[in-house]
Chain A
């Protein structure tokens, strides 16, 4: 799987390298969008010292962790929720006759490394936040765990979005509401939202496990909604559960695949 992914990604990277100007513009575009996100945080903290009980460095930490996880998941699996395009164009048929997983082929299709720019940017924000926070060594190990869990959660959401399109072709926007919407929601401390939304993000769609619950653990802060402090340690379990659901949904989607006429 990894070998096939690397093979396809490398082939597409070489193909993209034939258009260097387009590559440069896409990279710059990605960085500008990411820069605007960060500018919003600066504007907020130019006017207030805290956001829903969290200081600037803490918000940087939460923002950096969520965006790093999302941008890496988007880089590697962001194409999966565009499977409806392959269904419509009939290119999924061509993928199904190859001795490789169609999931990997869809994910790696048209791979472009320019999105790595956003990951570097998010990683820098996370690093700056962390160095200013003075997190004790006994809890720092949770940071890579939460980023990896976050990648898995977002990748699973992309996959679920893709699986849905075997039923509802031409509805990638529905999937985007959950993936890109999830990335937006987790940019800020979840305590800015209504408690009902936060409960939904904890128990239904486990977005709270991307950066909020494990982040509270790293920061050593109590959960405003009163969940025990070890809830953050459940991030890998939440991520794996969602990934299993997504894998089953994808398989069901492939089995229900109807192909196109002719």
Chain B
């Protein structure tokens, strides 16, 4: 469902070429729920933006739902849903209901189907109380539920979630996670999620991609990731350990492949 082959993106900052992402290769099969982890500035957002067609890769090849994101952006938009936790994709000044109706029209979702899906979401995410409120007046938790609803109204095959639980309180986080797990399992949606909250990963994802310095540093199961640092007591420690190790490893040559007892092999 998602394929990246040696995908890279460079930015020119004051005449210096910066590799935000380089030689990124991975595959995500239909129905998988994958977490994409990495420290700030590692290239997670750049990756997400290349997968959704917002940024054009400067090298390599990317396919999402069989389409080249940057060239077939509009066609791809009908098949993917995107949530940016940091900012809303809804219209700031419009009531939530109007925003969702506009999305219905933009995605050409049949009115009856839309009604059914919205009723289902209202039920599961408890939207009823704030459908008439302008988006700018919603609390963060309400806004996030609105954004998730908006991303799912056209029943996308792929859902991309960029930090969907950032800033949410414990209760809201649990609600959002429960909803995502159930809904995506029922519909067979392929999900790629970035997060800094490792409990998101523990609850939702079987597979983990770790991106660091713009490269794929680990690709395997959560247990596999744990096994890379046997002494660690929590998943936080495992990831911190990996971050620290990658920081002390010289940048060139690229970091050596790390052993992964189960799951797909690590790449460098």
Chain B residues within 8 Å of A91, by CB: 87
Determine the distance from Cα of A97 to Cα of B48 in the docked complex, in whole angstroms.
11
B89 at the interface (CB under 8 A from A): yes
For B91-125 the 0/1 string (1 means CB < 8 A from A) is 10110001000100111000000000000000000
Determine the distance from Cα of A91 to Cα of B84 in the docked complex, in whole angstroms.
11
- Chain A residues numbered 81-106 whose CB sits less than 8 Å from any CB in chain B: 90-91, 93-94, 96-101
Determine the distance from Cα of A97 to Cα of B74 in the docked complex, in whole angstroms.
8
B-contacting 9-mer, from A40-48, A55-63, A218-226, A252-260: A252-260
B61 at the interface (CB under 8 A from A): no
Determine the distance from Cα of A11 to Cα of B74 in the docked complex, in whole angstroms.
21
Most chain B beta-carbon neighbours within 10 Å: one of A4, A97, A98, A258: A97
Contact indicator B89/A94 (Cβ below 8 Å): yes
Contact indicator B45/A261 (Cβ below 8 Å): yes
Chain B residues within 8 Å of A201, by CB: none
Query: In the complex, how many residue pairs between chain A and chain B have their CB atoms under 8 Å apart?
Result: 66
- Chain A residues numbered 1-30 whose CB sits less than 8 Å from any CB in chain B: 4, 7-8, 11, 14-15
Most chain B beta-carbon neighbours within 10 Å: one of A91, A96, A100: A96
Most chain B beta-carbon neighbours within 10 Å: one of A4, A14, A90, A94: A94
B195 at the interface (CB under 8 A from A): no
Q: Given A98-B77, A257-B54, A258-B11 in contact, is the A93-B84 Cβ separation under 8 Å?
A: yes
Chain B residues within 8 Å of A258, by CB: 11, 55
User: Would you mind naming 8 contact pairs between A and B with Cβ atoms under 8 Å apart?
Assistant: A15-B94, A15-B98, A94-B84, A94-B89, A99-B107, A255-B70, A257-B54, A258-B55
Binding site for A on B (CB under 8 A): 11, 45, 49, 52-56, 70, 73-75, 77-78, 80, 82, 84, 86-91, 93-94, 98, 102, 105-107
Query: What 13 additional pairs, Cβ within 8 angstroms, besides A97-B77, A259-B49?
Result: A11-B94, A15-B93, A96-B52, A96-B53, A97-B82, A97-B89, A98-B89, A99-B77, A99-B78, A101-B74, A255-B70, A257-B55, A259-B55
